[in-house]
Structure 1
Amino acid sequence: MKIAFVGKGGSGKTTLSSLFIRHLAAAGAPVVAVDADINQHLGAALGLDEAEAAALPAMGERLPMIKDCLRGTNPRIASARTMIKTTPPGEGSRLLRVCEDNPVYDACARPVELDGGTVRLMVTGPFTDSDLGVACYHSKTGAVELFLNHLVDGPGEYVVVDMTAGSDSFASGMFTRFDITFLVAEPTRKAVCVYRQYREYARDFGVVVKVVGNKVQGQDDLDFLRAEVGDDLLVTFGHSDWVRSMEKGRPPRFELLEDAGHLALRRLRTAVDATYELRDWERYTHQMAHFHLKNARTWGNERTGVDLAAQIDPGFVLGENTVESPATLPEDNSRMTSTA
């Protein structure tokens, strides 16, 4: 199951995504956590110190390797150079699973020990001085989009992505890559504006959006959110001494999180698991092709010098039963039984 946390800057989406990751790990679920925010704070929210967080390998810096791995033996893709962030998989492509070892995880993921379990953490990498004036952040999040495009995940497996703030994810098709999107909203007009913008953009693509109220301090805050977002309001979080300690770098054992927090996290997981029955792999694959063609026409064909529409395999549908060509499977492609 693929989950996105989005919201206005400062809404607390990184904090809540880290709490949800901790909740899943404590339950023994396999988790891949991805920090796709321009401000890279998820590692710290999961307990890494500054040096450990800074040492995490950046997916954006390993994009050529990721492309070369994912194209596998796909005859429609001549080289990694001709792949762009929206390139979809086809026959012969290297597909990824949550519970496996593979070259992408080897290069980009690091295990993070949490109460009750271990999660894999991947980061896009920060926006550096060398990027200023010459690159946009989508050059880094493109690695995440390719990862999601080639990922085959099933029930009880979780990929949690902390997205960049606001509606910036609509610059590509990545917003359609998730089973559910949790929009973290404070009880403010600005936060509600971001919600309405997100809902408007996502409306025509079958994107499931639920609002997670944060920093809700009383009935007036709750009434405000209910009036503004209606039935999309799934759950709310209020003041938490546990979270305050975590943000100071001194988190107590996760089991000591307040009961209200544990209850809210269980409701989030229930909502995630319920979306599995709504999953439509054919629509998912079609949306990949739709945004790939759009990007190809807009800039991709000119950038690569080839007709990127030819990369779309019309007979291919990504799904849990999709079988890769044996030639694309590395020797270490055994499924893991732990959450590491």
Structure 2
Amino acid sequence: MKVAFVGKGGSGKTTLSSLFVRHLAARGLPVVAIDADINQHMGVALGLDEARAAEVPAMGDRLPEIKEWLRGDNPRISSAAAMVKTTPPGAGSRLLRVGGDDPVHALGYDVDGITLLATGPFNDDDLGVACYHSKTGAVELYLNHLVDGPGEYVVVDMTAGADTFASGLFTRFDLMFLVAEPTRKGVGVYRQYTDYARDYDVAITVVGNKVQGDGDVAYLREHVGDDLLTWLGQSAAVRALEQGRGGVPLEPANEAALDRMLAAVDARERDWDRFRRQGVEFHVKNARSWANRAVGEDLEAQVDHGFRFPVPVAG
């Protein structure tokens, strides 16, 4: 299952996404964690020190190599340079599997059984000449070509704010957890996200964070209604992790919230035909609006209308 954590800056989405990843790994479940935030903090949130977190190879810096490998011998794609972030797989393309032996997962850093991938930071060389979507394009291509099976999880910590909807990336997920504080700004982001996603059959559920009591829960329910899945309160365990200390167990109520989140993910049913159709729709939209001009080719010709994903089964 493909899962995204989204929300406004400071809502705690990196903290919650790392807690959820740890929750999966503690149960022996295969999980890939992807730091796609412009502020790269997921490695540290998963327990790496700053120096080791900075050593995680940047997917954004390896985009030409990633494109070349994914292209394979697909005859509809003239070159790796002609691939854009929305280019869908077709006959001859190489597909990815969670934990697979491929150049993309080889960029991952093992953190206690978790495969950590990172888009890479926005650095001085990017200023004035690139936008952060050039980094997250690697994640979009990864998800477009990933065949994840039952009991396999990819968890993406997205960049803050509405930039999540600046490409078709938001349609690549089985479920999006919108992390919302019980504040006017927190629920305002919820309304903005649901407005954007309404016409695209995207599943969004709300996880309250920094909840201090029944009044906060009531506030969230008033403003997001049945979309409120669960909530997490103040946590001594999270504080210890943020201070670089381990060994403090997560509170039972917060552990139960993570269980509800996992149950919500597992309850989703993957529709591979819809997943492919949405990807093709956004590729055609991108081709017509900017990509054909940028590349100098008709990128709609990259679409292999007869291609179907091989549907994996439980092992």
How high is the TM-score relative to the length of structure 1? 0.91
* 1:300 pairs with 2:295: no
* 1:156 pairs with 2:151: yes
Matched residue, 2:238: 243
- Whole-angstrom CA distance in 1 between matches of 2:272 and 2:92: 18
User: Which contiguous aligned blocks of 4+ residues in structure 1 show a shift greater than 6 angstroms?
Assistant: none
- Whole-angstrom CA distance in 1 between matches of 2:40 and 2:4: 15
Encode CA deviations 1:244-285: one digit per residue, 9 max, x unaligned. 0111111226xx11111111111110000000x2x2111110
For residue 319 of structure 1, report the CA deviation from its aligned partner.
4.0
> For 1:80-95, what aligned pairs fall within 5 Å after superposition?
80-95=80-95
Secondary structure in structure 1 of the residue aligned to 2:309: coil
Unaligned runs of at least 5 residues, structure 2:
none
8 Å Cα contact 1:243/1:251 also seen in 2:
no
- Whole-angstrom CA distance in 2 between matches of 1:100 and 1:131: 31
- Whole-angstrom CA distance in 1 between matches of 2:195 and 2:176: 14
Matched residue, 1:202: 197
8 Å Cα contact 1:3/1:181 also seen in 2:
yes
Secondary structure in structure 1 of the residue aligned to 2:39: coil
8 Å Cα contact 1:5/1:184 also seen in 2:
yes
8 Å Cα contact 1:6/1:183 also seen in 2:
yes
Residue 125 (structure 1) aligned to one of 120, 125, 143: 120
Residue 287 (structure 1) aligned to one of 274, 278, 299: 278
> For 1:132-171, what aligned pairs fall within 5 Å after superposition?
132-171=127-166
* 1:264 pairs with 2:257: yes
* 1:218 pairs with 2:218: no
For residue 61 of structure 1, report the CA deviation from its aligned partner.
0.2
8 Å Cα contact 1:2/1:158 also seen in 2:
yes
- Whole-angstrom CA distance in 1 between matches of 2:156 and 2:219: 28
Residue 274 (structure 1) aligned to one of 264, 267, 277: 267
How high is the TM-score relative to the length of structure 2? 0.98
- Whole-angstrom CA distance in 1 between matches of 2:3 and 2:98: 13
What is the number of equivalent residue pairs in this alignment?
314
- Whole-angstrom CA distance in 1 between matches of 2:154 and 2:191: 25
Unaligned runs of at least 5 residues, structure 1:
323-336
Aligned-CA RMSD value: 1.2
Secondary structure in structure 2 of the residue aligned to 1:227: helix
For residue 9 of structure 1, report the CA deviation from its aligned partner.
0.4
> For 1:48-197, what aligned pairs fall within 5 Å after superposition?
48-106=48-106, 108-113=107-112, 118-197=113-192
Residue 252 (structure 1) aligned to one of 247, 265, 278: 247
